[in-house]
Amino acid sequence: MATEHATNASPSAEFIQHHMTNLTLGEGFWAIHVDTLLFSILLGGLFCWFFYNIGKKATSGVPGRLQNIAEMVYEFVDNTVKDFFGQSRRDIGSLALTIFVWVLLWNTMDLIPVDLLPGMAAVVGVPYLKVVPSTDVNATFALSITVVVLMYVYAFKNNHGALGLLKSMGTHPFEAKSPAMMAILFPINFALRIVEDFAKIISLSLRLFGNLFAGELVFVLIALLPFFVQFIPGGAWAIFHILIVTLQAYLFMILTIVYMSMAEAH
């Protein structure tokens, strides 16, 4: 399980550390953050269940409120994909919709009172519980790595195999007009492309993690205040945080679409 707090830590420091510690199974590289996996699976299941049921009940007449919401989200994502690809794309659109809604649900967990679910878990003997998957760098890195791997899969497909993929990775940013110069510049271009793709992984993951971790930390600090004044800064921060929650989901989605558009054959 997670490491115990230092005995000489102040009550405030212990409170903060407790709320920012994952429920962990195992140690070292093979440690599993059980709470991150649990809430990610539950929220992913909620997303699938919601859109599946809306699809089954969809009507061509006057749509209900939930169908309106689902259609608005779908059209928003589909129009964004069209802006980059010039047409509707079921493959890219499905990926972008999944990432947007899933990350939005991750982030929305940050609006739940910080003591509510951990307190309920403590009653049944669970010592730690972080309920916001996007405050776990392992989750954000896993998602960003998945996006970049999919980018390579699409590049492999669009460039007709491994040779086409290698050629596309070795011709930019320095272009050559002769085969000899191309052979000289290929290793440099290839190395720069690898660095660029590692930078994609790091920027995608740390942007989401940093913003949500900081937001959750502010909520934890507000929870240290006397309960009768918490609603003033807590309410103000929650209203502002709604923008952050939505914006970070949008940015992750839009960058995913951008990276997929870069994998198209030109």
pLDDT of 6: 45
Q: What are the mean pLDDT values of the chain's consecutive 10-residue runs (266 residues total)?
A: 52 88 89 95 95 81 82 93 90 94 96 91 93 95 95 87 81 74 83 92 95 93 88 90 94 95 74
Whether residue 69 is contained in a domain is answered as yes
12 is catalytic: no
pLDDT of 266: 53
Whether residue 207 is contained in a domain is answered as yes
Whether residue 218 is contained in a domain is answered as yes
- 207 neighbors 102 (Cβ within 8 angstroms): no
Domain range for 236 is 11-262
The CA distance from 78 to 87, in Å, is 9
Whether residue 102 is contained in a domain is answered as yes
Whether residue 3 is contained in a domain is answered as no
Count: domains in the chain? 1
* Distance in angstroms between the alpha carbons of the first and the last residue of the chain: 50
203 is catalytic: yes
Of the candidates 88, 203, 205, 261, the residue annotated as catalytic is 203
Of the candidates 158, 193, 207, 261, the residue annotated as catalytic is 207
Whether residue 156 is contained in a domain is answered as yes
Segment 224-237, tens digit of pLDDT: 888 888 889 989 99
Whether residue 133 is contained in a domain is answered as yes
Segment 133-184, tens digit of pLDDT: 999 999 999 999 999 999 999 988 887 788 888 887 877 777 767 777 778 8
60 is catalytic: no
Whether residue 54 is contained in a domain is answered as yes
